[in-house]
Structure 1
Amino acid sequence: MDKCRLWQALQTLAQNNQTLTKLFADDDERGQKFSASACDIYMDFSKQAIDDKIFAKLIELANVYELSAKIHALLMGEKVNDTEHRPALHTALRSPKDTPLMVDGMDVNVQVHDSLARADDMVRRIRTGVWRGFAGHAITDVVNIGVGGSDLGPLMATTALSEWADTSIRVHFVSNMDGTQLDGLLKILSPQTTLFIISSKSFGTIDTLSNAKTALGWLLSACDNQDAILRRHFIGISTRPDKMSQWGIHKNNQLLLWDWVGGRFSMWSAIGLAIAIKIGMANFYELLTGANDMDKHFATADFTQNLPVLLGLIGVWNSTFLGINAHTVLPYDGRLSHFPSYLTQLEMESNGKSVNRAGEQVDYATCPILWGDIGSNAQHAFYQLLHQGTQRVSCDFITPIRRYDDRQTAYAHLSYQHELSLSNCLAQSQVLAFGNHALPASYQHDDEFAKFKQYRGNQPSTTLLLDSLTPKTLGSLIALYEHKVYVMSVLWQINPFDQWGVEIGKVMANRVYDALIGDDVSGFDSSTCTLLTKIKAKTAK
């Protein structure tokens, strides 16, 4: 069956799609059938609106779009980022040492592990107190200055793995252009013992450099020896050593990236320096190992049991064929509080496109709007809409099976709290799927308020159970979603590795800034001109 006919067949199946209540009633084995596991992650997708026929057609769709060949192209360094004419080799960042990968005559693996070795040396010196500030004191606080992928990934992983921190060094993150985060930190940090990491792939991002300039000024107010300040209090991470040197970063304090590392895929590289400082290099390597394990699974597992492929196929089915244009990620573990935000960038910046690889406007839905929160918090925030709102929303529930196993008896109540969290996670997916049918008979209402207590159900969800949350399983989980994004992009025929929609905002911001600090506010639409005039009138000296 060719692509067009297969696409039409799936559209027909979507129009005749049965409710989740009916699908479960018709198949007692459904919970076992629609599941898969790998890398200490168990995935239950039985509460997705698919049956045997739909599942077979989705697998066929993956084959028709030559997904196996596309996966091979990604992993082998072919130029899958065709609009920028380069590979997307984030998987090479977590490949074991002495695993050659030749790209344009260069062994990428050697470059990656040379960079990791340099990062390892920096981490060791910072954590052991060898790295000293201008006054001779050991570093007590590290501030990562970045934005987008240079912030969200390290922030998410450092938070998720806080229990693995084995140092008293505090790690902070600054991304906001308006200076709010930095202002709060500079009031409590000591210039003598604070180290800044400037993370910017281009080393030209105004958000990051404006914060870096403020940090430099703060340090210089405590010590007027600029050479000492730059040498002892700044590390730079970028693809542009020339720009880092021009800014003043000492050559020995520079860590390099490569153009083939997309920002939102870069936490495995030197961009993850803040993670390694917090949890140690050994645990950082465990994070890489977990991701590499998922890479291998993605490359070799049959599509019917391949977690990233299955998650990607389900995403396309929901968004493109069922018209479900909203997706929420709900981790039932406070350590994963920043994971939904991380995925928001990963998925929406990658697949938020309306033009295919051939440059043609697509006539189907691509990436849904994605958001999320810790599940227990979300239950008291936006679950009302999920249960009784007017639109369908697909959901991912994520939770570890085991936690607090090694805590002393005095902390036994923590295990009880984890059991409550697990129970809420499983309960919510049931009610979302089956509505009132999931409730016991004693809760069925027949009173004057019964019509207000109806839960329609039929909200599809996937549940991901981690054996436990460790550096290794977190690495696997992140890589799972990275590859899900790629699978969806293949079926949508879009390039997930460029981000022209981000660039245009930067261009316009520079034009507006020139008008804001200058005298001429013309050349914009009437709204922008009026707003600029209003602002300038209020801020005139």
Structure 2
Amino acid sequence: MTNSTWQTLSTLAQTPPDLNTLFKSDSTRGERLTASACDIYMDFSKQAIDDKILAELLQLADNFDLSNKINDLLTGKKVNDTENRPALHTALRTPKGETLIVDGVDVNAQVHDSLERAKHIVNRIREKVWRGYSGKAISDVVNIGVGGSDLGPLMASVALDEWASGEWSTDEWADTDIRVHFVSNMDGTQLDTLLKTLNPQTTLFIISSKSFGTSDTLANAKTALAWLLSTHNHKPTILHRHFIGISTRPDKMTDWGIHVDNQLLLWEWVGGRFSMWSAIGLAIAIKIGMHNFYELLAGANQMDRHFATAEFGKNLPVLLGLIGVWNATFLGINAHTVLPYDGRLKFFPNYLTQLEMESNGKSVKRDGQKVGYATCPILWGDIGSNAQHAFYQLLHQGTQRVSCDFITPIRRYDSGQVHDKYLENQHKLSLANCLAQSQVLAFGNEALPDELRNNNDNFRHFKQYRGNQPSTTLLLTALSPKTLGALIALYEHKVFVMSVIWDINPFDQWGVEVGKVMANQVYDTLYHDEMVGVFDSSTNTLLNKIKGK
């Protein structure tokens, strides 16, 4: 990398600023290093950057032509160059009536046609019009998918559970008692456990697979079909009344047996991990209703517009992405944890593990040359209050640096329930823990009251907190479909910003594909006695062990 700004940042990273020193020398830091948009307030003052570093990072964005790259993403240029197609997940949440022509096709019209088909299905299910083979209304919906067809819908459905009983809308039922479940595991454990609790007469399965060829998903689908056929042996009826398919491949859905009326289509330009805004989000819409699903889309679109128009110094995704590059590439911090202080966001870290590591876990640049610097850090996380009793020990006193994102809503519990004042107090306790943890991580012993810092007992050496662990705090005004949409889009665009600086393609996943090919070869060798691959001595030994030889 010959970029002079890159070299300057590399030099600055050799003697990175200390957070205690930064705050002591600037009483306005906590107010200045902030930005807000879409009901999200971002405080990045506890990141190990000063004004010089921030200026150089913003210059780095200009050097890599980030503004034009953002425009390319949003207008349908073929930013996924290894697969020669655009990455148009932002088009999935563009308001109806806007026009986006890509290769002579009005993408917006396609998207809203698909949403109308999904809306028809959603309303039929929520209004109890959709009936199973015995004539009883559907009570349970099972989403069968994996990766992007599972993580996003699962995360959003759990986060927005309380919106299942939303406000009245003139064209749909606001309330529902439909239970929505998710199955992804290949080994059948989830499905086996779930089927024992379901009534086959009132259960509907959604098979979500972009290719409609994913072995994990189809294995679960075949088991679900066999379960239904064990109670009603007329296969055409079972397939028509109890299965919906979502895929780019209508031919494969039809061959499997999905009725054409129950097929929802995707497009190749929808990446799996960016697909929850499309028909893949059907389970979310069934859970919260189309009105609230449109609110989710609107929040994401609001963040898209902010990303496209805000100056970089106040642009949330740009700042979050540049700070991520500073930490991972220049400071060598190879671990990042996401810590939501709200139980509704318990699956948000899981969702981000795929979004970030499958997108940017790359070691080859767009020109095919090997990357010569660190890219995506290892990402994990948990609900903050649970994590405090699990891995915060490492954050506070471990041997390596970890960057952190704290996420929490400011307001919660205002529904007027008798016990709300107690719940409000619990939320205040959660907020206090969130702010306290980021403070101790940043300042270590210096953040502690005198009676704790000036500890003279025999164990004082074990009670030292080094601090200088960088973190960003994201405050949502409140968690809602709209703010959740904005939050997810914020992280999607963060990933893109980092990919531009790293000069990698975040929209392919060749590392995922190779394992699938090898698994098929191993399967055939195990169960069909076909030596279809050449395996190492360890794998051969394990194969023989499993086969009883």
TM over 0.5: yes
Cα deviation, residue 412, structure 1: 1.3
Cα deviation, residue 18, structure 1: 1.7
Give distance in 2, aligned partners of 1:452 and 1:119. Answer: 58
1:451-470 equivalent positions in 2, closer than 5 A? 451-470=461-480
How many equivalent residue pairs? 537
Deviation per CA, 1:29-51: give whole Å up to 9, x if none: 00011000000000000000000
Range with greater deviation from structure 2 (20-29 or 295-304): 20-29
Match of 1:282 among 285, 291, 307: 291
Give distance in 1, aligned partners of 2:308 and 2:60. Answer: 18
Q: Give the aligned partner of residue 417 of structure 2.
A: 408
Q: Give the aligned partner of residue 531 of structure 1.
A: 542
Deviation per CA, 1:111-164: give whole Å up to 9, x if none: 000000000000000000110000000000000000000000000000000010
Q: Give the aligned partner of residue 192 of structure 1.
A: 201
Q: Give the aligned partner of residue 497 of structure 1.
A: 507
Cα deviation, residue 482, structure 1: 0.1
Q: Give the aligned partner of residue 460 of structure 2.
A: 450
Q: Give the aligned partner of residue 498 of structure 2.
A: 488
Cα deviation, residue 320, structure 1: 0.2
Deviation per CA, 1:3-41: give whole Å up to 9, x if none: 621111000111121211111111110001100000000
Give distance in 2, aligned partners of 1:3 and 1:252. Answer: 56
> Does residue 266 of structure 2 align to residue 267 of structure 1?
no
Q: Give the aligned partner of residue 241 of structure 1.
A: 250
1:22-171 equivalent positions in 2, closer than 5 A? 22-166=21-165, 167-171=176-180
Letter in 1 for 2:322: L
Give distance in 2, aligned partners of 1:136 and 1:409. Answer: 40
Deviation per CA, 1:266-297: give whole Å up to 9, x if none: 00000000000010000000000000000000
Match of 1:372 among 365, 375, 381: 381
> Does residue 445 of structure 2 align to residue 436 of structure 1?
yes
Q: Secondary structure at the match of 1:537?
A: coil
Unaligned runs of 5+ in 2: 166-175
Letter in 2 for 1:488: M
Give distance in 2, aligned partners of 1:306 and 1:537. Answer: 60
Superposition TM-score, scaled by structure 1 size = 0.98
CA contact (8 A) 1:3 1:64 kept: no
Match of 1:474 among 446, 459, 484: 484
Cα deviation, residue 409, structure 1: 3.6
Q: Give the aligned partner of residue 170 of structure 2.
A: none
Identity %: 75
Letter in 2 for 1:39: C
Give distance in 1, aligned partners of 2:417 and 2:136. Answer: 36
Give distance in 2, aligned partners of 1:96 and 1:5. Answer: 41
Letter in 2 for 1:471: P
Q: Secondary structure at the match of 2:408?
A: strand
Q: Secondary structure at the match of 1:467?
A: strand
Give distance in 2, aligned partners of 1:410 and 1:434. Answer: 37
CA-atom RMSD in angstroms? 0.9
Cα deviation, residue 405, structure 1: 2.1
Range with greater deviation from structure 2 (440-449 or 505-514): 440-449
CA contact (8 A) 2:414 2:420 kept: no
Q: Give the aligned partner of residue 182 of structure 2.
A: 173
Q: Give the aligned partner of residue 218 of structure 2.
A: 209
Letter in 1 for 2:538: S
Deviation per CA, 1:203-243: give whole Å up to 9, x if none: 00000000000000000001011000000000000000000
Letter in 2 for 1:494: I
Q: Secondary structure at the match of 2:419?
A: helix
CA contact (8 A) 1:308 1:483 kept: yes
Give distance in 1, aligned partners of 2:2 and 2:106. Answer: 37
CA contact (8 A) 2:409 2:475 kept: yes
Cα deviation, residue 460, structure 1: 0.0
Give distance in 2, aligned partners of 1:452 and 1:62. Answer: 42
Q: Give the aligned partner of residue 362 of structure 2.
A: 353
Q: Secondary structure at the match of 1:298?
A: helix
CA contact (8 A) 1:3 1:61 kept: no
CA contact (8 A) 2:186 2:217 kept: yes
Give distance in 2, aligned partners of 1:187 and 1:409. Answer: 36
Q: Give the aligned partner of residue 527 of structure 2.
A: 517
Q: Secondary structure at the match of 2:182?
A: strand
Q: Give the aligned partner of residue 518 of structure 2.
A: 508
Moved over 3 A (4+): none
Superposition TM-score, scaled by structure 2 size = 0.97
Give distance in 1, aligned partners of 2:102 and 2:261. Answer: 27
Letter in 2 for 1:476: A
Cα deviation, residue 519, structure 1: 2.7
Q: Secondary structure at the match of 1:49?
A: coil
Q: Secondary structure at the match of 1:401?
A: strand
Give distance in 2, aligned partners of 1:310 and 1:430. Answer: 21
Q: Secondary structure at the match of 1:459?
A: coil
Range with greater deviation from structure 2 (519-528 or 475-484): 519-528
CA contact (8 A) 1:37 1:307 kept: yes
Cα deviation, residue 518, structure 1: 2.6
